[in-house]
Chains A and B, each alone.
Chain A
Amino acid sequence: MTMKQQEMIINKIKDTLVRAGSTFREDQKEAYRQAIKKETLPRAKWVLETILEDAEVAEKNRSPLCDDTGIPHVFLEVGPNKSVTGADLEAIRLGVAEGLRELPGRPMGIKGDDKQRLDQSGGLDEDSAGVLPAPILIKQVEEDVLRAHVLMLGGGPAIRGITHRVFHKHSVSVVTDEIVKRASEAVALLGCSPCALSVGIGRSQFEASSLMIEAMVYSNFAVQSDLEKKITDKVNESNVGPLGLKGATSVLATFMKVGPQRASGIRVVCMRPSCCFEPRMASVEL
């Protein structure tokens, strides 16, 4: 890889991370506009309007949507004639670091050895880039492209998310009912609603979590399957509302990815109640 090629990847990833942390996608804005129209409670409507106003200011200033700027997660799509080298991955890592400094990301990386990182005694890294990205996910795709998606995952949904098996009893409803139950409890405790529920269903905890990330990557608030819509509607019956202040909009949409399954009595479900700004995600071709 030439210096110029490396610089190009660094700059593209940097810009993509800043966009992910500061910009609502058009389908996300439209989901808010529709929710504002439907809300009848003045304070619920006001919260939604304030979040949308925040998104407009953040986009204009290229500044963080939320002060919990999140943990960077990178998802790579690799087409048939494309390749990813170690040098590419290093350039992506550097691009993430530069992006965190430019956004700026909240400097919340913990320093120190295993024990110090666990009990937070190692202190905080003052550099925004001290927040290291999660391991990169790579997906083989038919389109002949090398594309990076950068997601910024906040802490609140990490507190309330659950990855756990469901005994499916050979019934789709048993699985979706359990997702609704877990999500309803999580959304009520989250505080930063309305949510976008992100769900992955796989054969192991790793696979389910990876599929949950993939569900966020391919998310579109305007495109909902029957199962996704059913989950959204059911959780909205909880009447948690924006910021937990009651109202019709507890969940704006559900993004679910069902992976391959095996002959077994269980399905492993990863459910993340993504907060009112998520999925904070932007994409770029490398």
Chain B
Amino acid sequence: MKKIVTPITDEAINEIAVGDMVYLSGYIYTGRDAVLPKVLELIESDGLEKAGINLQGSVIFHTAVSPAGVGPTSSNKLEIEGSIPALSKAGVKLHLGKGELSSKTIEELDKYNSVYAVIPPVTALLESKTLERKLVAFPELGMEALHLLKVDSFPAIIAAAHGKSIY
């Protein structure tokens, strides 16, 4: 198992290959259908810093954050997959979710030296590895708001990297 710690550098991404099983640690953002388009609007309007968001070397985990815990939703939903190119361009290095992505998205990931990993929907296990959770932006979205988690050794598999896909 390889270990990945945030913030993730370009050098670290260069050492990752499709099929690698990894443990992910550090601070990771969460977001899904409702909030990711709003984050894209912040990128467009240069409003990330004001909102307290730093995407350089970051991770976006496609999940809600509720009292039940966290777990991946399908990353190939329109709003989620559609956000991947712009988020990668803005500095996100790892997108974490589940399901197959299109070849076009995989090309876009490669363009910005970003990767995609899938994580089993193991909520109880992930809860035991979540050290902190904080609401960052868009509180009106409730469990779908942008949150920041501090995690220790989230298990994942690299599903798309450097123009290649596991699917």
Kindly state whether residue A58 has any CB partner on chain B within 8 Å. Answer: yes
Chain B interface residue count, CB cutoff 8 Å, equals 31
Report if A50-B155 is in contact (Cβ < 8 Å); known contacts: A106-B67, A107-B67: yes
Report if A191-B21 is in contact (Cβ < 8 Å); known contacts: A63-B69, A245-B166: no
- The residues in A between 22 and 44 inclusive whose CB is less than 8 angstroms from any CB of B are 22, 42-43
Beta-carbon nearest neighbor of A59 in chain B: B124
- The residues in B between 23 and 79 inclusive whose CB is less than 8 angstroms from any CB of A are 63-64, 66-72, 74
Kindly state whether residue A206 has any CB partner on chain B within 8 Å. Answer: no
Report if A61-B64 is in contact (Cβ < 8 Å); known contacts: A67-B69, A191-B99, A245-B166: no
Partner of A66, one of B19, B71, B143: B71
Chain A interface residue count, CB cutoff 8 Å, equals 41
Cβ–Cβ < 8 Å partners of A99 in chain B: none
**A105–B98 contact, CB under 8 A?**
no
Encode contact with A along B99-120: 1 for CB under 8 Å, 0 otherwise. 1100000000000000000101
**A54–B66 contact, CB under 8 A?**
no
A232 to B70, CA, bound (A): 30
Cβ–Cβ < 8 Å partners of B21 in chain A: 42-43, 46
Cβ–Cβ < 8 Å partners of B99 in chain A: 189, 191, 244
**A245–B159 contact, CB under 8 A?**
yes
A189 to B167, CA, bound (A): 12
A51 to B157, CA, bound (A): 14
A64 to B71, CA, bound (A): 11
Partner of B71, one of A42, A68, A242: A68
Cβ–Cβ < 8 Å partners of B167 in chain A: 244-245
Report if A105-B124 is in contact (Cβ < 8 Å); known contacts: A192-B98, A243-B118, A244-B167: no
User: What is the CB-to-nearest-CB distance from A150 to chain B, in angstroms, rounded to a whole number?
Assistant: 16
How many A-B contacts at CB < 8 Å in the complex?
107
Kindly state whether residue A254 has any CB partner on chain B within 8 Å. Answer: no
Report if A53-B121 is in contact (Cβ < 8 Å); known contacts: A106-B66, A245-B166: no
Most interface-central of B99, B121, B143 (chain A CB within 10 A): B121
Cβ–Cβ < 8 Å partners of B124 in chain A: 22, 54-55, 57-58, 61, 63-65
User: What is the CB-to-nearest-CB distance from B93 to chain A, in angstroms, rounded to a whole number?
Assistant: 21
A128 to B122, CA, bound (A): 20
Cβ–Cβ < 8 Å partners of A246 in chain B: 166
Kindly state whether residue B14 has any CB partner on chain A within 8 Å. Answer: no
**A47–B120 contact, CB under 8 A?**
yes
**B128–A57 contact, CB under 8 A?**
yes
**A192–B121 contact, CB under 8 A?**
yes
A51 to B98, CA, bound (A): 14
What are 20 A-B pairs at a CB distance below 8 A? A22-B124, A46-B155, A50-B122, A54-B120, A57-B128, A58-B124, A66-B71, A66-B123, A67-B66, A68-B71, A104-B67, A107-B143, A126-B142, A191-B72, A192-B98, A242-B120, A243-B120, A245-B167, A246-B166, A275-B121
| Interfacial residues, chain B to chain A (CB-CB below 8 A) | 19, 21, 63-64, 66-72, 74, 98-100, 118, 120-125, 127-128, 142-143, 155, 157, 159, 166-167
| Interfacial residues, chain A to chain B (CB-CB below 8 A) | 22, 42-43, 46-47, 50-51, 53-55, 57-58, 61, 63-69, 103-108, 124, 126, 128, 156, 189, 191-192, 242-246, 275-277
